[in-house]
Amino acid sequence: MLSNLATRDVETLIHPYTNLDAHRANGPLVLERGQGVHVYDTDGRPYIEGMAGLWCTALGYSNAELVEAAAAQMGRLPFSHLFSGRSHDPAIELAEVLKELMPIPTSKVFFTSSGSEANDTQVKLAWYYNNALGRRAKKKIIGRSRGYHGVTVATASLTGLQANHADWDLPLPGFLHTACPHHYRFAEAGESEEAFSARLADELEQMILREDPDTVAAFIAEPVMGAGGAIVPPRGYFQAIQTVLARYDVRFIADEVICGFGRLGTWFGSEALGMAPQTLSFAKAVTSGYVPLGGITVDEPLYAAMVDQSAKLGTFGHGTTYSGHPVACAVALKAIEIYRRDRIVEGAAEKAPHFQARLARLAEHDIVGEARGIGLIGGLEIVADKRTKAQYDPKAGVAARCVAFAQAEGLIVRFLTGDRVAVCPPLIIAPDEIDALFDRLTRALDRTRDWIRSEGLGAAA
C-alpha cells in the first residue's frame, strides 16, 4: 500500500531511468533531508548515500558554506545571462579558476547546465570547427560501447547503451561506437591488459580507416566509464588510443562529468589515467551537485576558429539561458575553495587504498566475478559462474535485486547494465563510513545469493 506522498508521486511524475510500469506498483523512495554522507527518508530512516546522489555530491549533504554561497548570490544577483556580451563577476571568476585547474591547455570556458548539454556542445563545436577549416566532410564522432555521455538527441547517440537507443530511433547517422575497454568481460582468453589495449587501439584505427579519416572529427571517452558499469580501462589503453587519434587528426574529448573534481584522487580523471585530450567536459561535482552547472574547455585553435566564424557570420550562434548562471557559478567557486582548503582531492587519494581494498574483497563472494575500481569509485559484476563468467538472464534482474537488498540494509547504490553494481560515495566519507558501506553491501550480496538459490536461477542459456 503506497503512502499518500508516494501515490502523489506515481500520479504526477515521470522518473528518469526507471521502469515506469514497476514504479506504479512499488512507488518511490522519498527522501526528506541529508547530512554528510547520509540521506533520510520520510520515516526518518538513514541511508549511506553510496552513489553521492548521482555521482555528484562530492562534499556530502547540507554543507552550510555551499548553502550560504547560494543564498548570498540569490540576494545579490539571482539571475543574469551571458548573451550579447553581458557578464557578471561569478562567471568571470569561475572561468579564471577553472582555467588554472585544468590539466590541459585551455583558452576559454563555456558554461552549460549539465553534462548532457556540455557534450552536446562538444558535438556542435566539432562540426563547427571543421566547417571553419573548410573540412566539411570531417563530421563523424566515435564513442564506445557502454560509454555514457548524456540524453540529448546528439549525446544519446554518442552513448553506447541499448536503453538509450531502443525505440528512440538512435543513434543518428554519423555517430559510431568502438569496443568497450572492459578487460574482465571482453578480453580473449589469456590476453593481458596491455595486449587487450593494443587490440582495441587497432580496432579503432581500422574503424577510422574504413570510414575514411577525412570524415572522422572526434573521439569521446570517460576516464572511468560510469553508467556503463563503473569500468576502469586496462593498462596502456589511453596511451594506445591517443596514438591512433593523433595519427588521423581526430580530436580527443574527455568526458570528465563523473571523474572531474577529485573522484579518482586527482583533480581530473585525465591526470590519473594519462589522458591528453584537446578538450574536456565537466559538470556534477563542480558544484557538489547542489546547483546544476556544467561546461567545456575551449582550446586556442578552436577559439580562433570561433572568432573567425563570428566575424564571418555575425554572431556565435549557440548558447542557453542558464549558461553561466550566477548562483551556480557562486556555488562552484565555493565548492572549489572547499576542495582546495580542506584538501578534499588529496584526502580522496589517501582514502582510496582502504576503499579499494574493501571493494576488492567482494571479488571473493560467491556471486561476484569482478570487483574493481580506482580512487573512490568502483564496480562489481554479479555472475552465475565465477569460473566461466557466465551471466544470469537479464530479465531476472539480479543486480536490481541486490540494490534493493542494499537499500533494505541502509545503503543506496546503483545497478547498471550487465548485472553490475556501482559504488561512488561522497569524497568526504570517513574510513569508518567506508567500512559501514561495504559491510552493508556484503550483507546485500549475501541476501542476493540466498534469493538466487531460493528462486533456482541458473546461468542464461
pTM: 0.96
pLDDT at 458: 87
pLDDT at 1: 57
d(CA 186, CA 255): 22
Render each residue's pLDDT in the chain as its tens digit; 461 residues. 567 899 999 999 999 999 999 999 999 999 999 999 999 999 999 999 999 999 999 999 999 999 999 999 999 999 999 999 999 999 999 999 999 999 999 999 999 999 999 999 999 999 999 999 999 999 999 999 999 999 999 999 999 999 999 999 999 999 999 999 999 999 999 999 999 999 999 999 999 999 999 999 999 999 999 999 999 999 999 999 999 999 999 999 999 999 999 999 999 999 999 999 999 999 999 999 999 999 999 999 999 999 999 999 999 999 999 999 999 999 999 999 999 999 999 999 999 999 999 999 999 999 999 999 999 999 999 999 999 999 999 999 999 999 999 999 999 999 999 999 999 999 999 999 999 999 999 999 999 999 999 999 988 86
d(CA 333, CA 345): 16
* Domain positions in the chain: 4-62+343-455, 66-341
Compute the chain's Rg from CA coordinates: 22
Residue 8 CB neighbours (<10 A): 13
Contact present, 175 and 211 (Cβ < 8 Å): no
Domain 4-62+343-455 fold = Aspartate Aminotransferase, domain 1 (3.90.1150)
Contacts of 82 (CB under 8 A, 6+ apart): 91, 111, 319, 323, 324
First to last CA, the chain: 37
Among 290, 236, 259, smallest CA distance to 376 is for 259
CATH code of the region 66-341: 3.40.640.10
